[in-house]
Amino acid sequence: MRILFATVLAVVCSAAAAQMRTIPQEAQVGTIRYLEGMQVELDGEPRPLAPGVQVRDVDNRLVLPASLLDREREPVRYLLDGVGSVYRVWMLSAPEKEALPQPPSPFPR
């Protein structure tokens, strides 16, 4: 019985931990599209992917950069390295997208 309880507790805790993730405050918001190889389009501009790039899906799992192929024009958070290559990308869940700051309105009030 204790083994069953420990197993259930471990599964519940791991699921809860996967839902909590920290995206650095300095991560920028943009749209990204996978082009080919180690190239992406970031906010309409081609950018290289850094060696060792990490792309995280909405469940915070590491995925291949080609996973961005399905995410055309959806907002992501990203970090660039010192030479301008993309080295961290976080695909955003629905609540994270809703929490993004709204762009300024083109019509003044």
Alpha-carbon 91 to chain mean position: 3
Whole-angstrom distance, CA of residue 38 vs CA of residue 107: 39
Pairing of strands 28-36, 75-80: antiparallel
- Structural domains in the chain (count): 1
- pLDDT tens column, 47-73: 999 999 999 999 999 998 887 776 667
Instruction: Please give the model's pTM, rounded to 2 decimal places.
Output: 0.74
Residue 87 lies in a domain: yes
Residue 28 lies in a domain: yes
Residue 109 lies in a domain: no
Residue 107 lies in a domain: no
Which of 35-39, 72-76, 77-81, 97-101 has the weakest average pLDDT? Answer: 72-76
Residue 68 lies in a domain: yes
Whether the pLDDT of residue 38 is over 90: the answer is yes
Contacts of residue 22, Cβ cutoff 8 Å, sequence gap at least 6: none
On whether the CB atoms of residues 29 and 75 are closer than 8 A, the answer is yes
Residue 104 lies in a domain: no
| Segments forming the whole domain that contains residue 80 | 2-98
- Locus of tokens 């055309």: 72
